[in-house]
């Protein structure tokens, strides 16, 4: 009797172990074929595509910056002409960024130009505050030329101050509009503009009125001192562009033009025939084209 009981207990233990073993295999292996292709498959739904951080078709545009964005000297001498602005102008000759993005009718009511002739980077935070009040989906920035265009090379804005002021401008916008996009253009190549304009007698007379003296002063001088001065200004422009690229890169909704404006070779047709330094209507159109390509380019 005791032998049969021991035999029965052994059989029971073996059966129990076998059952537990099967259960363990089921738990570790994810169950039977139906469970694997059923419940778990239903749970593994594909996640929705994330919303892209850069929208290439914003519905409103605001512009901040300096005289270039105001269309200075593009229509008449020593005067703003915002209707031909590369950023927000309504002129069909220019086909501005706002018109290209929004269409002419919508651009008339959904674009704003807060740039100011003579503005430096220190003026940008206040302009950004004005732009933010309109709640634009895109803000364009073109500033820095006047920080280099001072009465002397020694008076140029320091690179450290330029960085701090640009950071302040972006912070001003971000406090009000965390998701608004920012498109930043590089500072133009001032030395190339000097090289192009110095061949025009009328242009050089206008330069003597005080237009960018750090670069354009004594336009015909080619001595060592004049050459060194221009190189100093040019190096500062390059440093400004490095700052713009670096600061912008830290903001996921900021896009720098990669040096497109700096690299653009303005010819005499693209320069104002009033001062041979600021962009003409044709030059404004070229800037609009470069900006549109930059804004609508796919993220790399």
| pLDDT higher than threshold 90 for residue 185 | yes
Q: Is 126 helix (H, G, I), strand (E, B) or coil?
A: helix
pLDDT value at residue 17: 39
Taking CA 178 as the corner, what is the angle to CA 175 and CA 181, rounded to the nearest 5 degrees? 120
Residues 17 and 147 in one domain: no
Better-predicted residue by pLDDT, 177 or 37:
177
Alpha-carbon distance of 15 to 63, in angstroms, equals: 81
Residues 16 and 149 in one domain: no
Q: Which two tokens stand for residue 110?
A: 């959904």
In a domain, 51, yes or no: no
Residues 21 and 113 in one domain: no
- DSSP 8-state class, residue 143: -
pLDDT value at residue 203: 86
pLDDT per position as a tens digit, 78-134: 999 999 999 999 999 999 999 999 999 999 999 999 999 999 999 999 999 999 999
Contacts of 209 (CB under 8 A, 6+ apart): 78
pLDDT value at residue 174: 98
Answer whether 101's CB lies under 8 Å from 295's CB. yes
Residues 12 and 114 in one domain: no
pLDDT value at residue 137: 98
Residues 10 and 67 in one domain: no
Stretch (H or E) spanning 111: strand 111-113
In a domain, 45, yes or no: no
Q: What is the CATH number of the domain that holds 206?
A: 3.40.50.1110
What average pLDDT does the segment 148-171 reach? 98
DSSP states along 238-291: HHHHHHHHHHHHTSTTEEE-TTHHHH----GGGB-TTTSSSB-HHHHHHHHHHH
Picking from 172, 116, 146, 134, the residue whose alpha carbon sits closest to that of residue 237 is 146
Residues 71 and 186 in one domain: yes
Alpha-carbon distance of 140 to 72, in angstroms, equals: 17
In a domain, 53, yes or no: no
pLDDT value at residue 202: 87
What's the pLDDT band for 158 if we cut at 50, 70, 90?
very high
Residues 7 and 132 in one domain: no
| pLDDT higher than threshold 60 for residue 231 | yes
In a domain, 55, yes or no: no
What average pLDDT does the segment 217-222 reach? 96
Averaged pLDDT of the chain:
87
Per 3-state DSSP, the chain is made up of helix, strand and coil in percentages (nearest 5) of 55, 5, 40
Residues 202 and 110 in one domain: yes
Residues 4 and 138 in one domain: no
Alpha-carbon distance of 133 to 184, in angstroms, equals: 19
In a domain, 162, yes or no: yes
Answer whether 275's CB lies under 8 Å from 207's CB. yes
Parent domain of 140: 61-296
Residues 2 and 103 in one domain: no
CA-based end-to-end distance of the chain: 83
pLDDT value at residue 38: 40
Residues 3 and 74 in one domain: no
| pLDDT higher than threshold 90 for residue 50 | no
Q: What is the pTM of this model?
A: 0.82
Answer whether 60's CB lies under 8 Å from 111's CB. yes
What's the pLDDT band for 275 if we cut at 50, 70, 90?
very high
Number of domains the chain is built from: 2
Contacts of 117 (CB under 8 A, 6+ apart): 66, 67, 70, 72, 80
What's the pLDDT band for 218 if we cut at 50, 70, 90?
very high
| pLDDT higher than threshold 60 for residue 40 | no
What average pLDDT does the segment 5-12 reach? 42
Residues 171 and 251 in one domain: yes
Alpha helices, DSSP H, located in the chain: 2-29, 33-37, 39-43, 97-102, 104-110, 124-133, 145-148, 159-176, 190-197, 201-207, 213-216, 224-249, 260-263, 281-296
Better-predicted residue by pLDDT, 20 or 205:
205
Picking from 137, 142, 227, 150, the residue whose alpha carbon sits closest to that of residue 191 is 227
pLDDT value at residue 299: 81
Picking from 77, 93, 233, the residue whose alpha carbon sits closest to that of residue 149 is 233
pLDDT value at residue 47: 53
In a domain, 39, yes or no: no
Cβ neighbours, 10 Å, residue 51: 6
Alpha-carbon distance of 266 to 287, in angstroms, equals: 10
Better-predicted residue by pLDDT, 43 or 120:
120
In a domain, 40, yes or no: no
In a domain, 107, yes or no: yes
Better-predicted residue by pLDDT, 13 or 103:
103
pLDDT value at residue 20: 33
On the CB side of 172, how many CA atoms lie within 13 Å of its CA? Answer: 20
| pLDDT higher than threshold 80 for residue 258 | yes
């Amino acid at each position: 009797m005791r032998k049969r009981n021991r035999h029965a207990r052994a059989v029971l233990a073996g059966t129990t172990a076998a059952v537990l073993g099967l259960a363990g295999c089921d738990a570790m292996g994810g169950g039977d074929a139906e469970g694997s292709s059923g419940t778990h498959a239903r749970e593994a739904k594909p996640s929705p595509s994330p919303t892209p951080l850069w929208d290439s078709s914003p519905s409103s545009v605001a512009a901040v910056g300096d005289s270039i964005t105001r269309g200075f000297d593009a229509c008449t001498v020593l005067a703003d002409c915002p209707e031909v602005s590369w950023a927000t102008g309504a002129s069909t000759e220019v086909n501005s960024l706002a018109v290209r993005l929004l269409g002419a009718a919508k651009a008339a009511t959904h674009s704003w130009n807060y740039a100011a002739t003579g503005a430096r980077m220190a003026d940008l935070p206040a302009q950004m505050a004005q732009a933010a009040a309109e709640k634009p989906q895109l803000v364009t920035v073109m500033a820095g030329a006047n920080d280099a265009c001072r009465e002397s090379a020694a008076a140029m804005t320091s690179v450290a101050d330029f960085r701090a002021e640009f950071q302040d401008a972006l912070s001003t916008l971000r406090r009000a509009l965390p998701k608004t996009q920012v498109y930043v253009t590089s500072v133009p190549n001032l030395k190339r503009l000097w090289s192009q304009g110095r061949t025009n007698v009328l242009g050089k007379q206008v330069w003597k009125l005080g237009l960018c003296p750090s670069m354009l002063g004594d336009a015909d001088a080619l001595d060592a001192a004049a050459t060194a001065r221009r190189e100093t200004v040019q190096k500062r422009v390059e440093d400004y562009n490095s700052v713009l690229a670096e600061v912008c890169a830290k903001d996921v909704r900021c896009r720098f033009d990669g040096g497109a404006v700096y690299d653009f070779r303005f010819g005499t047709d693209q320069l104002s025939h009033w001062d041979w330094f600021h962009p003409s209507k044709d030059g404004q159109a070229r800037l609009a084209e470069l900006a549109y390509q930059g804004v609508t380019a796919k993220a790399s």
